[in-house]
Structure 1
Amino acid sequence: MKTTTLIALYLLALSGTSPLYAQSNKLVPLKERVNVQADSARTNQIIDGRWVGVGTGKPHTIRLDYTRPFQGKPSYRFELKQEDNTLEGYSAGETKGRAELCYCYATANDFRNLPASEYSSAQKMKTVYHYGKGSCPQGSSMSYTFSVYIPGTLDKEVSTIFAQWHGMPSRTLVSDPSGKVMRLTTEEFLELEKRMIFKKDTAYDKVMKINAKGDTIYKAGKANGWLIEQGGYPPLAFGFSQGYFYIKSNSDRKWLTDKTDRCNASPDKTEVLKPVTSTYKASTIAYKMPFESFPKDCWVTFKVDIDWTVYGREKQTIRKLGMLDVVMTYPQSGKEIKKHIVDNEQILIGRNDEEGYYFKFGIYRVGNSTIPVCYNLAGYEEHEKVSPK
C-alpha cells in the first residue's frame, strides 16, 4: 500500500470518519415501531432479521449500542425518561411505559398464498402476528437464553420488566350480554365488528359521526355487555420492583380471561414458590433477590427452560403442570459465577389459549412508576428443549 494511502486512512481515523471509529462511539436510534397484533412488519422495520420495536418511538428509547458490545456485536440499549409513559395503567389514573423488541411478528410474505381478505380480517381481529415467526405452540417445551447489563447507577426503586413471555389470545372468543361464552367464526366476528368498537376486552356500540371536515368517523358509544378475549398478565416475567429482582410466573386456566381478576403476586410480600391464587388464576414468585445483590456493570446471562402448562380449553382444567428451570451466570473477580436459581420446579405457567407464546425484552415500566430506567440487553436465542435420553 502506498504511503499516501496510509496517511489518508490515518487522517480519516483521526477525524472520526472511518467506519470502525465511527461505530465504536455510536448509539444508533432504532425508531421504527410495529403494532404486531394489527399490522405486518415492513422490511425497514425489521431489526437484525429477527426483531421489531414496540412502544414509544422516541429516538432515545431503543438504540443499537456499539459502546457496550456483546460477543462482538452491538447490544440493545433501552431507556425511558421520566416523561415517557404513554400507556394507561391497570387502575384508573395509572400510567405505564414501554420500549421493547418483540421476537414475534408477521410480514406480507406470510400472507402471500392466502386469500386477499385474510390480512384485513386478521387486522380487525388483531391476530396478524399469529401468521408470522417467533411463537412456540401451546404446551410446548422450550429453551431460552438472553443477557442483561444493569448499570450501577440504576435506581433501586425502579419498577420494570426487562424480559417477558406473552400469550397469544384469540379475539374471536367472546361472551354475549347474558354471559354466554362462545368461539365465533371469522365471519361472525367481522359482523360483530361492523357495529361495535372494542377497547381492551370491552365492546361498545359503534356510533357514526361527521367531523368538522365533513368526514364520516366512528366513535365508541355505550358499553353493550359483550366481552372479547384480550389476554392478561404475562405468563413469565423477569424484572425489578419493590426493591427486588424477581422472576414471576402466571397461569390462567379460564377459557375467556376475566380482566377484573387481578391475581398477581407481589415481589416484596409473596414467599418464593408459594402461589397467590384465585378461582382460575395462580401467580408465583419463582425467585427473588434484593436489588442490591443483583450483579451490576457486567453481563448477566439467563438460561431458561420451560415446559408450558397444558390446559383443558373449554373444560378450564389443568391437564399437566408446567416446569421452570433458570440458571444465572455472570463474572465476578475474574471468575464465572453460575447459580441454579430455579431448579426444575413444577409450576403453573401459561394461559388457556389455543395459540402459544412469544418473547419480548426491553423496558416495560409498570405500577405508575416514572423513575428513569436505562439498561442493555443482548444474546437472545430460543429453541425446542432437548429432553435427556
Structure 2
Amino acid sequence: MKDKCFVLIGFICACVSAYAQPATTLLYKNSFDTPASLADWKMEGPGVAKVEGGRLLIHSKWADDLERLDGQIDLLKDGGGKYYPFIEQWVKEREPESLPKYVLDFHKPGQFSGGHIQFWNKHAHPENFLIRLKFQAANPYPLHMVTFCGRGVNGEDVLDPKLAPRFGLAAQYMYGDIQNYRISYWAGSRGTSNMRRAPGRQLTAEEKGDVPRIALKREVQLEIFRWNGHVVFRCDGEKLVDWIDDEPFGDGFFALRLMASAKGWYDDYEVYELNEDPFAYAGKGENITSRLSAQRDVPQPKDVIDGKFIVVGNPEPEGKLYRDVINTYKGNPVYRFEASPKVNRVELTTCYASNLEGFSERELSDLSELANLYLKNDQGHYGDTITYEWNARFPEPLKEDAKGIFAQWHGRPDRTLVITPEGERKILPTAEYIALRKSMKVTDEHIGIDPKTDKPNGWKFDGSAGGPIAAFKFQDGHMCLLVRNDPNARSDNTVRIKPKPVVRREQAKGNKTGACIFEKPIAEVPIDKWINFKVQIKYSKYSLDHDVPLESGFVKVWMDGEPVVDWTGDIGKNDEKGPYFKYGIYKPGADGFMVDCAGFTQTFE
C-alpha cells in the first residue's frame, strides 16, 4: 500500500503545529508509484531505472549479461576489473560508438572502466539532514552505494552543464570536478561498509558490517544522518558507518550508485531537514494531528502515514500521536500513542478509502453515506491465512486495573445486505440500497417499518460489526487476546460476546462464540522494553446462505519469538470483505495509558 506521493514538501508540514519547530521537517519524498516519479531523477551511465510493482528497479544495462557469467568469474568479489574485459567486448560488438565514454584520459588513461551507473535526485538536500529509503537486493552482486553532499568543487549544482560530462565511471566522481561523500554497501565477499570523500577518494571509514543478506528476501530500511559533519549510516537500526568530518561539505545532491553487476529495488525515499542534534535527541517526534474516518473520508497524500496507515480517533488534547524518525526501532518510525480517559480511540488503521479510480462523485458520496468508502481496500477474505507482525512498547508502568485495546482486527460488515420480505438474502448495489432505506423507517434492530402503517414490512438489514474479531487488550488485571466468531450473514448488534480472562474464557450466545485464548498478568508485562508480536490467523470460512462456519480457523501467536498461543476454533464474521488491522489505543480506562508501536507487516499465505 502506497501513499502515491513524489512531491517537494517545502518548509511547511501540514501536520505539525505552527508555533513549535519540530526536530525534523520533511522536505521531499518519492514513493515510486508511477513512471512519472522518475522525472525527479537523472541517470548517468548505461543505466536502467523503471517503476515495477510500486518500487524503483535500478541496474546497469549490462547487469543481465554479467549475471550469466556467474561461475565463470567471481561476481561476489568487490571491483570491476574481473568483468571489464567482457563489457568492453560487448560494447565493441553492440555499440562501438559508445566506447570512448567508457575510457578516461585523466585517470588510468586508455583503460576501459565502464558499465557502472549514477542516479541523481534533482532536488538538493540541506546541510543537516536525515535521508531514509528502503532497499532490497535483486541479486547478490556488489556494489550498491549512496552519494550525498554532491556539488561541483566551486559549489555548482551537481547537474550543472558547465561541469565535465559524466558516464558512471568511478574516477569521474572520485577524482573529477565534483565533491561528495559516498558510502558503499552490499559489498559481497568484502563484508564491509566503506565511506569515501571526494575529490581524492579518501577512505574515511571502513566498518566491519554490511547490509545483511536478508535484503535478498525483504526490504531493509536505510538511514543516513548528518549533523555538523557527523555522518551515521544505519540499516534496520544497526549502525554501519559512524564518522565525523572536521571540514565538512555543505548541502548538496543525493544519488544512488550501482556497479555494473548490481541490481536492486529502492522505495520511499525521504529527505528531512534536521533542526536538532539527532544524536542527542530525546523527544517524541512529529506531532500528527490528522484524524479521518476510515469508512467515510478519502485521505489526501499527506494523511497517509508511511504508505500504510491513516489516523482514526479523537483529536488533541485527549488523543495524541507522535511519529519519531530519529530514534527509530529497527529502522521503523516509532509511533507514540497517548490517551486520556476521555478518549474513545486514537489508532493507525491499515484499511481506508483507496483504489477508487473510476467512481463518480455521486458514487463516492453514496459510499461515504454508507460508511463504506474502504470497500476496495484489499485486506484478504475469510478463509485466508494471514500473518501479522509488529512491535509494541509500554513506556510507563501499567496500573493493575489498566483497561483498553492496543491492537485489534476489525470486521467490515456487508453494508448493503438485506433479507427481503420473501426471505431471500441479497447484497444490493449501493444506490439501490440507499433508495430502499429511504423508503421506510428502520429500527435500532435493523427491521424495516412501513411509514404508512408503522408496522414491520418484512425487510431486514445487516447490523453493525459487533466488536473486534480479535483484540489484544488490558482487562481484569491481565494482558489478554480475545477472539470472536459471528457466523450470521445478517448480524444482530444487540447480542454481544465478551469473554474475559480467568473467569469466563469461553462464551456463546446463540451461534455467536468468543474466547480468551491468551492471558498474562499485567504485573508481568515488560515496561519500556520492545515486544515483538507475530500473529498468524486462519480465518473461518463462511457463506452468505449459511449461518454456520464452513471451515474452522486457528490462531498462533509468538511474542519475542516464543510461541504463546496455538488455538483452533472459529474466528471471523460472515461478511464478503476480510477484516483489517489497527494498533494504538481504543477505549482506555479511567487512567488512560500510552503505547509505542513500530513496524507492521501483513503476509498472505
In which range does the TM-score fall when normalised by the shorter chain? 0.7 to 0.9
* Distance (Å, rounded) in 2 between the aligned partners of 1:171 and 1:235: 17
* Distance (Å, rounded) in 2 between the aligned partners of 1:53 and 1:165: 15
The one of 536, 551, 567 equivalent to 1:320 is: 551
- For 1:106, the equivalent position in structure 2 comes to 353
- For 1:76, the equivalent position in structure 2 comes to 335
- For 1:91, the equivalent position in structure 2 comes to none
Divergent runs of 4+, >6 A: 4-9, 176-180, 196-201, 221-225
Post-superposition shift, 1:42? Answer: 1.0
Q: What TM-score do you get using the length of structure 1 for normalisation? A: 0.76
* Distance (Å, rounded) in 1 between the aligned partners of 2:568 and 2:311: 33
* Distance (Å, rounded) in 2 between the aligned partners of 1:199 and 1:145: 40
Post-superposition shift, 1:24? Answer: 5.0
Q: Work out whether 1:296 is the aligned partner of 2:543.
A: no
Q: Work out whether 1:48 is the aligned partner of 2:306.
A: yes
Q: Work out whether 1:163 is the aligned partner of 2:386.
A: no
Q: 1:37 to 1:223 in 2, by over 3 A?
A: farther
- For 2:388, the equivalent position in structure 1 comes to 144
Query: Which segments of 5 or more consecutive residues in structure 2 lack a partner in the other structure?
Result: 1-152, 154-227, 230-244, 249-273
RMSD over aligned CA atoms reads 3.3
Query: Which segments of 5 or more consecutive residues in structure 1 lack a partner in the other structure?
Result: 10-15, 86-96, 208-220, 330-337
* Distance (Å, rounded) in 2 between the aligned partners of 1:339 and 1:379: 19
Post-superposition shift, 1:267? Answer: 2.0
- For 1:380, the equivalent position in structure 2 comes to 600
Q: 1:81 to 1:305 in 2, by over 3 A?
A: same
- For 2:511, the equivalent position in structure 1 comes to 280
Q: 1:39 to 1:17 in 2, by over 3 A?
A: closer
Give the aligned residue type for 1:384: F
Give the aligned residue type for 1:75: V
Calculate percent identity across the aligned residue pairs. 28
* Contact kept in structure 1, 2:332 and 2:599, CA below 8 Å: no
Say which SS state the counterpart of residue 415 (structure 2) adopts: coil
User: Which deviations, in whole Å up to 9, do the C-alpha atoms of 1:187-244 show, x marking residues without a partner?
Assistant: 3212134456889865899x9xxxxxxxxxxxxx999996433211211111111100
- Once the two structures are superposed, the pairs formed by residues 1-389 of structure 1 within 5 Å of their partners are 17-18=275-276, 20=278, 25-58=283-316, 61-65=320-324, 69-82=328-341, 84-85=342-343, 97-107=344-354, 110-133=355-378, 135-174=379-418, 182-195=426-439, 202=446, 227-271=461-505, 275-329=506-560, 338-343=561-566, 345-365=567-587, 369-385=589-605
Say which SS state the counterpart of residue 364 (structure 2) adopts: helix
* Distance (Å, rounded) in 1 between the aligned partners of 2:371 and 2:443: 12
* Contact kept in structure 2, 1:106 and 1:132, CA below 8 Å: yes
* Contact kept in structure 2, 1:162 and 1:239, CA below 8 Å: yes
Bigger radius of gyration, 1 or 2? Answer: 2
Say which SS state the counterpart of residue 190 (structure 1) adopts: helix
* Distance (Å, rounded) in 2 between the aligned partners of 1:112 and 1:348: 36
Give the aligned residue type for 1:187: A
* Distance (Å, rounded) in 1 between the aligned partners of 2:462 and 2:488: 13
- For 2:24, the equivalent position in structure 1 comes to none
Query: Does 1 or 2 have the higher relative contact order (CA < 8 Å, sep 6+)?
Result: 1
Q: What TM-score do you get using the length of structure 2 for normalisation? A: 0.50
Q: 1:30 to 1:17 in 2, by over 3 A?
A: closer
* Distance (Å, rounded) in 1 between the aligned partners of 2:404 and 2:443: 25
